[in-house]
Amino acid sequence: MQDLLIEYKRALKNARKQYEPFKEKEEHQLSVQDKHDKKMIASMVSDLEYVVEWLQIGREPGARRGLDRRSVYQRTILANQEVLEALSHEYTLIQEKEREISERDKKRIDEALSVLTDREKDVFFMHTTQGLSFSEIAVMLDVKKGTVQKHMERARTKMSKKVQERLFEAAE
């Protein structure tokens, strides 16, 4: 891929060199053939710049909605209290037998989640409540799988630490 990029950059450089003599002359000084050549070379330069940019950024230049720039509605993951109830046992604090969370427990869950960044919350909810794999989450968020794993690890650490602090405060 890098070889291809180098070749296109070389071709772009040559095309720009060929265009230089036409830049210096005004339009009325050019013959019909020169006008045609100027237009053709300008088109080549434009096309080559487009291809080089595409190869460098890995997606169509100027695309307003690439995978990494999805609309806020596509990136937003909604979670409500029912979703919190579905959290695995490892992450729930105390659940009552009626499967209804008391106001006190809701506050404790919110408090435990409050230490997470938005991205950590997204990863946490997608993995624990929606059952998505790290790879699937990585594709959705347009990041590497290792980044998703790191976010999940940090979320677990932060939440465990917050729960331990609350338990320690309650014991005092």
Q: Judge contact between 68 and 142, C-beta under 8 A.
A: yes
First to last CA, the chain: 62
DSSP secondary structure of 39-55: HHHHHHHHHHHHHHHHH
Q: How many CB atoms lie within 10 A of CB 134?
A: 19
Task: Read off the pLDDT of residues 124-138 as tens digits, 9 standing for 90 and up.
Answer: 888 888 888 999 998
pTM of the model: 0.40
Domain 68-171 class in CATH: mainly alpha
Q: Find the mean pLDDT for residues 73-83.
A: 57
Whether the CB-CB separation of 161 and 147 falls below 8 Å is answered with no
Contact call for residues 105 and 93 (beta carbons, < 8 A): yes
Mean pLDDT of 164-171: 68
d(CA 1, CA 52): 11
Residue extents of the structural domains in the chain: 2-57, 68-171
The answer for residues whose C-beta is within 8 angstroms of residue 161's C-beta and 6 or more apart is 115
Tell me the C-alpha distance between 78 and 126, whole Å. 10
